[in-house]
Amino acid sequence: MRSRRRFCCSVLAAVAALLVGFPPGLAFPQGTRGGTITFALYQEPELLNRYIGTQTALSEVTTFIVEGLVDYNEKGEFFPRLATEIPTRQNGGVSADGKSITYHLREGLKWSDGESVSCEDVKFTWQAVSHPKSGAAYTSGFRDIERVECPSPTTVVVVYKTFYAPYLDQFTRGILPKHATGDPAEMTRWAYNRKPVGTGPFALLEWVSGDHITLIRNRFYRDSPKPFLNAVIIRVTPSREVGTQLIKTGEVDIVWDLIEANVPELRPVPGVKIGAAPGPNAERLLLNLADPALDGPPAAEVAKRPHPILGDVRVREAIELGINKQEINEKLLFGLATPGTNELHIGWAKCVTRVTEYSPDRARQLLDQAGWKNGPDGIRVAQGAKFAKDGMRLRLKLQTTTGNKLREQVEQLLIDYMKQIGLEFYIENVPSPVLFGSWSSGAFRKHGQFDVVMYTTNPDADPHSQIEGYFASWKMPTAANGGDGFNYARWSNQVADDNIKLAGSSADLSVRKKAYCAAMDEVVKDRPHIYLYGRSQIHGYRERLQGWVLNVWTNVGWNAQDWSLK
């Protein structure tokens, strides 16, 4: 009976399909050439030069077009792109002092306009980005390069002035074609910024401002018959919500960067799949260990005038133990996040530390011991506390960015949790440009005039700039250093400092990993940051798209040469 009905249905479907003229679901074998996919991006790239712009949306587009010498795979490990192998000590790619790095380019590489790729292009990339008038925003490491030598067109020797630990990350953002760019001093005016020439599987055909960017197969791509697709259309949508609507109706094949709340909405839609994996982001509470009345104090001054409440490590521990991270994840993030542990919760330098147990009892005990006694209204009052004058209320300002519903909900839970252990949080949210403002604009985060701020940040696949920036004692923003560094907690720890120095001076990844983890152990113990949850990177895609692998370390299109349509 059932089979007959199914038979009838398929006959009807076939007739209907013939009538309409669209045979549905013709199954091509995987890897068949042809087809176009549409990719919804809710932010338009400002331009397409990763050395000038720092938006993520920008690199989401350039990743189809522009390639670096090496790149990160889905495990956060390096793999060679334009290079033939990853330079290491063993293969002679890294000199004994670690200052000279040799890359070998693949033979016969061509730009999408047919010109040959050579070592001169790599050299030009360095010269252009490090040019003082280039207007480049991303220059990490480039200024530390002393020279780039080209012993042959396919051999690149990069010589650093001093050892630079993230040297492998140096040329992941792409090589600039010398012949198709221009004068480095005019970098911001290059026509290249709007129509980049690259070596990637796709080349830019047109960019209709505010609407879409069309990428077509790069005829000169090295790995024929790849790419399989004819074209990728990047559709700029005014919001994430528009993208989720478009994937439901099948008008787009990929919708970029969803949030947890989109998942229950998209999961039941036939033909739509969700790709999600824990990303390097970590939402955290960043605690100010210095007296917030001070203006950008250096380490020595912080030691003399610690934060009256947060200067005591027992209070910081009590705050973390009083937070039910599991509940935040389940109630507000649909269980799709991972409870927070430390800065390096994924990647090659991953450090495994335990999620703190939710224990309000233990938190109350700690506060009792720290000299914070129960007050008349349930909020504790200092009575023999380490740094606070007797009679001071256990009251802290909690700040995050305005207009973010999830963060506002998390704040509500945090207020609740803290009330239960006798600590009062009061909220004073600010727009994100204010929170993330610069030293010169007087931003309170930079100047150390806050109690607790909550936001997300993440290390790159090479975590050095993040770990040093946030946790090294010499990275506290002060007037003397022009506000350099991100150690807003103003945390100093000798063990962490030593290990960060060690990691920054070693070319051996296993040595670096060990050193970072030793530093992370100190962070976990000392709690300059309290990690709430790690967000997943979530993208929606239609089932007909084959070959995509989610890579949280780079961009959605990192393996677009392997994509095809079912």
Partner 1 sequence: MAAYTGRRLLQAIPLLVLISLLVFVLLHLIPGGPMAAYGNNPNMTAADFARLEHDLGLDAPVHVQYLRWLGALLRGDWGYSLASKRPVLVEIGDRLPNTIYLLSISLAVTLGIAIPIGILSAVRQYSVLDHAVTTVAFAGQSVPIFWFGLMLIIVFHVVLRNPISGAPLAPGGGMYTLGEPFSLLDRLHHLILPVSMLAVVGTATYTRYMRASMLEVIGQDYIRTAHAKGMPARRVLWHHAFRNAAIPVVTILALEVPVLFNGAVFTETIFSWPGMGRLFIESAFRYDYALLMAIILIGATLTIVSNLLADIAYAYLDPRIHYG
Which residues lie near partner 1 (CB under 8 A)?
A: 19-20, 22, 36, 38, 44, 46-47, 52-55, 132-133, 135, 137-140, 188-189, 193-194, 208-212, 214, 231, 233, 235-239, 242, 245-246, 248-249, 251, 430-434, 436-441, 443, 455, 457, 459-460, 465-466, 469-470, 477, 481-486
CB of 538 to partner 1, least distance (A): 21
HSE, side-chain direction, 13 A CA sphere, residue 426: 5
Other beta carbons within 10 Å of 361: 10
234 vs 351, beta carbon nearer partner 1? 234
3-state secondary structure 437-470: CCCCCCCHHHHCCCCEEEEEECCCCCCHHHHHHH
CB of 117 to partner 1, least distance (A): 25
Dist. CA 1–CA 3, nearest whole Å: 5
CB of 24 to partner 1, least distance (A): 10
130 vs 353, beta carbon nearer partner 1? 130
Dist. CA 231–CA 215, nearest whole Å: 6
Q: Are 515 and 531 in contact (CB under 8 A)?
A: no
122 vs 443, beta carbon nearer partner 1? 443
Lookup: tokens for 85? 């192998």
Q: Which residues pair with 234 in a beta bridge?
A: 39, 213
Number of residues that this document lists for the chain: 566
Dist. CA 395–CA 380, nearest whole Å: 8
CB of 193 to partner 1, least distance (A): 6
430 vs 517, beta carbon nearer partner 1? 430
CB of 550 to partner 1, least distance (A): 23
Sign of CA dihedral 129, 44, 248, 331: positive
> Left, alpha or beta for 374 (phi > 0: left; psi -120 to 50: alpha)?
beta
52 vs 418, beta carbon nearer partner 1? 52
Dist. CA 212–CA 208, nearest whole Å: 5
CB of 370 to partner 1, least distance (A): 32
Other beta carbons within 10 Å of 142: 20
417 vs 516, beta carbon nearer partner 1? 516
356 vs 478, beta carbon nearer partner 1? 478
371 vs 485, beta carbon nearer partner 1? 485
CB of 38 to partner 1, least distance (A): 6
CB of 445 to partner 1, least distance (A): 8
Please enumerate in sequence order all residues whose Cβ is within 8 A of that of 202, keeping only pairs 6 or more positions apart, or say none. Answer: 64, 65, 215, 216, 217, 218, 227, 231, 232, 560
